[in-house]
Chain A
């Protein structure tokens, strides 16, 4: 097992952990977005609430969801470890003029990640924990009583500062993905002339479309 520990404590192994967890989390984003888009359905929140109920009770989903939390935590912890190590690698005296031949996004994944983390905390506090542990009103659909998470969302999405924060954080997510998506492939060694174009295209498209759709929901609901 020593080799396994060596692998994930090496500079390359740490990166690969970031890449793998990152890629899994992007998949999660896609799934989450699919759910959120049901908020826009004009059925008074029925599909969204049913969906939330399903997600909240299905044992498999629950398992994946816990795993998802674990991955987020690993992604964060390893990011902190990497950043610390990388800062140390510069040495005690840094440059008077910072290096600049790279994109701002790629240099500031930590800052972007921190914004996303803050968002996550608020987000989980408002929705996830409310849905799971909170006492929010219920709705009955087809004889089944489910929590009215939709109502909760509508309430928050009418709060101007919350919507602004949400949109801002989605922008940060976009930039995080802008670099992170393709970067993960490079880290995993998947750099090949034949596929780089596609990976790049998908990565950039994902980084724009997914956060934009996420952000569109509160905006549209705010102005309704």
Chain B
């Protein structure tokens, strides 16, 4: 196969970027999309041109590190991660445009690499159960209905890649945050802190500069893990419920 690539090149976060065009003549249909870029990078290196920087790690669709906005789709035309996309999904002679994720909250670091630490900060705001190691009850002391456990799992299977943000015309992170909020809101372990959790996580999400959801559902259509927008609805419910009914207790010392 021969393909033409239009790739966004940008030296660093402050530099101005531009598209560069590469003719790639050594593509096989069995290559994964990232392997196609590997081969191109080796060819570039041999020509003493700096290779294209892109994020990737596990290459089996689970770590969430790979990104790439390919021909108008995060992770390309299939609903999977870029590392699981193969060149047989493209036509011989096709022109493929590769852009980085675009969002104010995901600044470009270099070429196709973006900074997604905003997602980490949102989770630091409360995507956990406040338990220390040790001193927890026996695992079977908390029965959880299979349906609920499965639904929580569906939400928890989010890989945090950011495709939802990349796909959304508003660069909204609500599918991601909704999935996180849902996982804990569904499980009894998470119920204790559900109100505070959702308030903090939404506040952090807003502080990071993500947009609002306008229910275009592009996120759900592009999510490589099939996370459902029902999670956003659940987050909305949780959030209003929390804002209306949570206690705001001034923290202060106890004792006598």
Q: How extensive is the interface on chain B, given as a class?
A: 35 or more
Q: Looking across the interface, which residue of chain B has its beta carbon closest to that of A184?
A: B215
Q: Are A191 and B211 in contact (CB under 8 A)?
A: no
Q: Are A89 and B171 in contact (CB under 8 A)?
A: yes
Q: Looking across the interface, which residue of chain A has its beta carbon closest to that of B211?
A: A89
A187 partner residues in chain B, CB cutoff 8 A: 213, 215, 233, 236
Given A96-B99, A106-B215, the answer on whether A12 and B202 have CB atoms closer than 8 Å is yes
In A126-170, which residues have CB < 8 Å from any B CB? none
Contact of B221 among A87, A92, A95, A102 (CB under 8 A): A102
CA distance A16 to B71 in the complex (A): 33
A58 partner residues in chain B, CB cutoff 8 A: none
A7 partner residues in chain B, CB cutoff 8 A: 240, 243-244
Given A89-B103, A101-B221, the answer on whether A95 and B171 have CB atoms closer than 8 Å is no
B236 partner residues in chain A, CB cutoff 8 A: 12, 15-16, 186-189
Q: Are B211 and A86 in contact (CB under 8 A)?
A: yes
Q: Looking across the interface, which residue of chain B has its beta carbon closest to that of A105?
A: B216
Taking the closest CB of chain A, its distance from the CB of B73, in whole angstroms, is 7
A192 partner residues in chain B, CB cutoff 8 A: 230
Q: Are A11 and B19 in contact (CB under 8 A)?
A: no
Q: Are A89 and B105 in contact (CB under 8 A)?
A: yes
Q: Looking across the interface, which residue of chain B has its beta carbon closest to that of A13?
A: B243
Q: Are A186 and B229 in contact (CB under 8 A)?
A: yes
Q: Is B161 an interface residue (CB 8 A)?
A: no
Q: Are B240 and A191 in contact (CB under 8 A)?
A: no
Q: Looking across the interface, which residue of chain B has its beta carbon closest to that of A88?
A: B104
Q: Is A207 an interface residue (CB 8 A)?
A: no
CA distance A181 to B216 in the complex (A): 13
Query: Main SS of chain B's interface residues?
Result: mixed
Q: Are A90 and B218 in contact (CB under 8 A)?
A: no
Taking the closest CB of chain A, its distance from the CB of B24, in whole angstroms, is 19
Over the window 61-85 of chain B, the binary record of Cβ atoms lying under 8 Å from chain A Cβ atoms (1 yes, 0 no) is: 0000000010111100000000000
Q: Is A220 an interface residue (CB 8 A)?
A: no
Q: Looking across the interface, which residue of chain B has its beta carbon closest to that of A11?
A: B212
Given A91-B104, A97-B97, the answer on whether A191 and B230 have CB atoms closer than 8 Å is yes
Q: Are A85 and B234 in contact (CB under 8 A)?
A: no
Q: Is B232 an interface residue (CB 8 A)?
A: yes
Taking the closest CB of chain B, its distance from the CB of A5, in whole angstroms, is 11
A87, A93, A192 pick with most chain B CB within 10 angstroms? A93
Contact of A190 among B206, B210, B233 (CB under 8 A): B233
Given A15-B212, A94-B102, A96-B97, the answer on whether A10 and B206 have CB atoms closer than 8 Å is yes
Given A86-B169, A91-B171, the answer on whether A97 and B105 have CB atoms closer than 8 Å is no
Q: Is B129 an interface residue (CB 8 A)?
A: no
CA distance A52 to B34 in the complex (A): 67
CA distance A189 to B209 in the complex (A): 22
CA distance A188 to B213 in the complex (A): 12
Q: Is B93 an interface residue (CB 8 A)?
A: no
Q: Are A6 and B103 in contact (CB under 8 A)?
A: no
Contact of B243 among A3, A82, A96, A99 (CB under 8 A): A3
Over the window 35-52 of chain A, the binary record of Cβ atoms lying under 8 Å from chain B Cβ atoms (1 yes, 0 no) is: 000000000000000000
Q: Are A101 and B214 in contact (CB under 8 A)?
A: no
Taking the closest CB of chain A, its distance from the CB of B216, in whole angstroms, is 4
CA distance A162 to B56 in the complex (A): 58
B71, B171, B215 pick with most chain A CB within 10 angstroms? B215
Q: Are B237 and A90 in contact (CB under 8 A)?
A: no
CA distance A13 to B198 in the complex (A): 13
A224 partner residues in chain B, CB cutoff 8 A: none
Q: Are A96 and B19 in contact (CB under 8 A)?
A: yes
Q: Is A176 an interface residue (CB 8 A)?
A: no
Over the window 104-115 of chain B, the binary record of Cβ atoms lying under 8 Å from chain A Cβ atoms (1 yes, 0 no) is: 111110000000
Give me the 9 closest cross-chain CB pairs, A-B, nearest first: A189-B237, A89-B211, A191-B233, A86-B170, A102-B216, A97-B72, A86-B211, A102-B218, A101-B221
Interface residues in chain A, defined as those with a beta carbon under 8 Å from any beta carbon in chain B:
3, 6-7, 10-16, 82, 85-103, 106-107, 109, 179, 183, 186-192
Given contacts A10-B203, A183-B214, 13 further A-B contacts (CB under 8 A): A15-B212, A86-B171, A86-B211, A91-B107, A95-B69, A96-B97, A98-B72, A99-B168, A101-B73, A102-B216, A107-B216, A188-B237, A189-B238
A-B contact pairs, 12 of them (CB 8 A): A11-B206, A87-B170, A89-B172, A90-B169, A90-B170, A94-B102, A99-B73, A100-B72, A186-B236, A187-B236, A190-B233, A191-B233
